[in-house]
Structure 1
């Protein structure tokens, strides 16, 4: 009941969803062709290496929304819906991913009909969720550098930039030359042309209104001049999140100035540096990027946080240790920004690059894995905080950074993360909170077993283990049984958020309860036995 009520609280008043509306959302990203199959389809015929269609549609997304909603997500992001290239298979396969645009004004028949897309949108909204659609405005797709323009929405040569390969050191070239290559070139649309701007404005306005779309993810946003996007997004009338690939914050900030949001590639790169195993395990990269973002970006709280997507390797191919995923993933949910989970991250899908990072989800049988249940807990907490407080608008503070981890605070939630991985180590990470303990160690021993917890007591959302603020406001996590992430919530909201219903009478050893992890036996033992050391309480 709690999850349903939280999601219904998100039901939009209309479809003109703004950055304020999206700030508290969490997004599940879907490659439409690879999420779910129609009933009765053969589940064993999808060969990822062949780069061809496997059968996912808008209808099969609609029929399988429970899996996403039960994990606590409040929005979905789907592949581009426009018509794609429909000719002979290319050297790079077929347009199963949806990004090879032909006529943007037409729908992709491979994914369904107009009624199918409307029914998906209606069902998403019935559940109190939002619909984000990927769009491609920078380019179309061709099989030569002299394509037949009659197959595209823009049919005049003047509506395209002349062919040229990109010089990545020249910003004008990045914006005006062609993505792709000579095998599958992507003709670059002349978005400086007033006629193109007007046509695009009418198209996106009609698309958003016709299908009740709440937000746009804009592909290759930095390959278009930033001054194009305010007019385009203004005509759309909904939240716009652009893809600005790369970790240069100066470039990224120009594009958030031009639209609501961008994908947080700078933080993605920092999380890889900090948590991947093997890797440099440079935790300071996270604090440096966080500081730069907070100083230079228009609004860090609406940037899109992610660990995986269709253009980067799956985490499994970056890091060999599952705890590294858990710690990095928790950061994407509990820091500034909108968390985005790429389909299959919760199932441990692998794949280093296109096409292998775009495999089908159905072989997983949509199991409730450890990662799925951790995601469920994170969304449950985040949805409560968003719906009940100003947590989403608050800024992340770094409480401490050490070689083995980082402690952050957003609102009154303290998150302590480590990069040591699964093997136990005799190390700890301390969070220096703004709170002081107000009771002695003797009083604490009594409180644990017989009295309601004090205001400066916290609980882990994953284990319901009790933590108290020690001298000088310290909270300390020891990793003698492995490097699990710890999210600590004050006792005055833990029960209202739906965790640890008996938290005021917590015992020394507690069972997994209501939103905590459901894991394999070894993982249960690891998490439930994790020693959390309290600082001296005197």
Structure 2
């Protein structure tokens, strides 16, 4: 194809609901937003005063327009407001802009958009490999009493006819929740007040329970929802939840707004996950002022690990949300803010970030903590907290790609002599946090021992600095202006149980090896593959062309996760070599597209074979013999396939139409990685996902990036990309080329 200067990975995901399980959500990081306040279509300067509690015009289409902003922050799941129809009109507290004042569960909130818009949002998220989480409310519905502000004595003081459940007997007998130590009252009495009452649905009524279960099943299916956040969980009897969650069929995380681990613990037996409110309160106490209560944070985290069904692994860890004051309303100390933000990303749970936190929003209590995001301009350049969040997400995903057990390895707090120092070990990650504050002058430090080996070198992947242990494996790190030394990774990966490069691994480039490209002189001017795409998106490496990427410093290729999709770019013949005794060579011949060594030579049997037995193979797009747009064929291909573009490809001005057609013909396609034009290399539909760390958490077909071997060649206007996906039946196999079928096959 004329003008194509890139060969990338071909990779596809289903854009239908991923029916994501709890284990699959474990690897995600979640961006929470209020639909009405996140993004609007049209005037980006539209005024929105959160203190008035009025609708400001945010919509699902607005969210779609800024998904790339969220993805660029490093998030791969988005939690949106409840989607159903709400109370209309004004109240003492404003309007139901937030979505929590449910009126009719069978109608969508028209202020946010229509059914097609919500489906478009779901598809747009899936097209980026992201999950959709929807907030749901089943405890109550919202009503203005017959006499607003007057005394309410019974259900007769309400007119229920406008609600999904239109009869007085569909609700518990009226009473206000006044004693939160009385669980029956908590579960069966009404929240709110005489201006807006949140009338309590009778969730003991079997017909209502059945209706609610049917509704959530349909909602999830209709809009390809991947997970649900459940509001006011503690206000419904515990034995209601298992059937409701089962009916949803996707991951569920519940809100139980209390700081008591013992109170929350039983709920972890009936739903997948809970928001970590005990951890939230302890986190605020620890970091909202210099010298806060770190011991209390450690105590709560330890209780969580010991008392919850799955420890802390499935908790939602957060610093801000729509119900609590923004953290920066409590402190202006940037060092404390960065340390507190880092905690959610280095603990055992699933990190959740509330929209605007990365922009430095400072709103206090509800409603002031619900500012309009569009007034920030969605700025990223020069925004210190944006960069901080991006780094935290990258570090977490990097740790996942290095250590397959990272997500199920419980964090440990390393004892520190400094009362303002917090050291969290979660191999291969070591997070060093402090609540000394930005005025700290360097007298605070962390003492690290018993984690790394003698003379071992470690790297702070956020600041791109490296440190070396002493001869006893100890290290003293001094605080710099109270900032976190957020994440260290064991450069030699000796203590983390992850995959490691072997002497026969061509895809991995350990420090002792170099790659020779015969065609280097011809490639030096090509922005061939972004270096961040090749080596895992680590900021330490910057953005360089292919030649520079291969000549990076020793630090750059010290770990297995920095796996380059090393491609032969062919004019006549090109070779990729490793300078080792067991030299492996790729050669181009006219009789075969690429001569491959056996699989065992290519990826190294000693380090990888034990981890391959459970792989399902690469899910790929199958475009066969493309000669015109009408010839496009799509399919999920679990075994080796190839695609060929003819010598008469579409002109470059047809590229947009080409990708639009793929989106229509292949609704499961989320990323075209392998067709990257210079002018289209960052557009959503085919943004290159060569991040090996990202592939590790896609949960599509395979779960280890190490099984993916990507080879390509480009000759004149013809592009052939071979995406190999393996269904591994055993521990002995090799690839052979079948001349009759003109395809690679696995021989076991």
Compute the TM-score of the two structures, normalised by the length of structure 2. Answer: 0.62
Matched, 1:377 2:391: yes
2:334 maps to 322
1:57 maps to 59
SS of 1:105's equivalent in the other structure is strand
SS of 1:213's equivalent in the other structure is coil
Relative to structure 1, is the Cα distance of residues 25 and 173 closer, same or farther in structure 2, using a 3 angstrom cutoff? same
Relative to structure 1, is the Cα distance of residues 486 and 85 closer, same or farther in structure 2, using a 3 angstrom cutoff? same
Relative to structure 1, is the Cα distance of residues 56 and 201 closer, same or farther in structure 2, using a 3 angstrom cutoff? same
Relative to structure 1, is the Cα distance of residues 354 and 148 closer, same or farther in structure 2, using a 3 angstrom cutoff? same
1:489 maps to 489
2:405 maps to 390
2:246 maps to 234
Per-residue displacement from partner, 1:114-173 (whole Å, max 9, x unpaired)?
Answer: 000000000100100000000000000111153221111112222211111111121111
Instruction: Work out which of the residue numbers 432, 438, 444 in structure 2 matches 1:427.
Output: 444
Instruction: Work out which of the residue numbers 235, 238, 248 in structure 1 matches 2:260.
Output: 248
SS of 2:104's equivalent in the other structure is coil
Query: How many equivalent pairs are there?
Result: 481
Per-residue displacement from partner, 1:393-414 (whole Å, max 9, x unpaired)?
Answer: 2111112244111101112111
Relative to structure 1, is the Cα distance of residues 475 and 11 closer, same or farther in structure 2, using a 3 angstrom cutoff? farther
2:467 maps to 467
Q: CA deviation at 1:81?
A: 0.1
Instruction: Work out which of the residue numbers 346, 353, 372 in structure 2 matches 1:341.
Output: 353
Distance in 1, Cα, partners of 2:168 & 2:454: 71
Distance in 2, Cα, partners of 1:382 & 1:219: 28
SS of 1:305's equivalent in the other structure is strand
Query: What pairs up with 1:398-413 in 2 under 5 angstroms?
Result: 398-401=413-416, 402-413=418-429
Distance in 2, Cα, partners of 1:154 & 1:394: 45
Higher radius of gyration, 1 or 2: 2
Relative to structure 1, is the Cα distance of residues 137 and 487 closer, same or farther in structure 2, using a 3 angstrom cutoff? same
Compute the TM-score of the two structures, normalised by the length of structure 1. Answer: 0.86
Per-residue displacement from partner, 1:454-497 (whole Å, max 9, x unpaired)?
Answer: xx211111221111123543332212544333311122479954
1:119 maps to 120
Relative to structure 1, is the Cα distance of residues 481 and 92 closer, same or farther in structure 2, using a 3 angstrom cutoff? closer
Relative to structure 1, is the Cα distance of residues 229 and 28 closer, same or farther in structure 2, using a 3 angstrom cutoff? same
Per-residue displacement from partner, 1:72-131 (whole Å, max 9, x unpaired)?
Answer: 1000000000100013x1000000011110011110000000000000000100100000
Distance in 2, Cα, partners of 1:317 & 1:378: 22
Which deviates more from structure 2 when the two are superposed, residues 143-152 or residues 50-59? 143-152
1:416–1:431 contact (8 Å) kept in structure 2? no
SS of 1:33's equivalent in the other structure is helix
Instruction: Work out which of the residue numbers 83, 97, 115 in structure 1 matches 2:85.
Output: 83
1:520 maps to none
Distance in 2, Cα, partners of 1:386 & 1:436: 21
Relative to structure 1, is the Cα distance of residues 503 and 486 closer, same or farther in structure 2, using a 3 angstrom cutoff? farther
Distance in 2, Cα, partners of 1:487 & 1:28: 21
Distance in 1, Cα, partners of 2:555 & 2:104: 63
1:288 maps to 299
Higher relative contact order (CA 8 A, sep 6+): 2
SS of 1:498's equivalent in the other structure is coil
1:21 maps to 24
Q: CA deviation at 1:360?
A: 0.4
Per-residue displacement from partner, 1:326-378 (whole Å, max 9, x unpaired)?
Answer: 11111100110100000000001111111100010111111111111111111
Distance in 1, Cα, partners of 2:401 & 2:110: 38
Relative to structure 1, is the Cα distance of residues 18 and 9 closer, same or farther in structure 2, using a 3 angstrom cutoff? farther
Per-residue displacement from partner, 1:211-241 (whole Å, max 9, x unpaired)?
Answer: 0000000011111111111000000000000
Per-residue displacement from partner, 1:50-90 (whole Å, max 9, x unpaired)?
Answer: 11011100010011111000111000000000100013x10
Distance in 2, Cα, partners of 1:207 & 1:34: 23
Distance in 2, Cα, partners of 1:13 & 1:409: 37
1:48–1:359 contact (8 Å) kept in structure 2? yes
Which deviates more from structure 2 when the two are superposed, residues 226-235 or residues 154-163? 154-163
Matched, 1:30 2:11: no
Q: CA deviation at 1:385?
A: 3.1
Instruction: Work out which of the residue numbers 310, 313, 333 in structure 2 matches 1:301.
Output: 313
SS of 2:446's equivalent in the other structure is strand
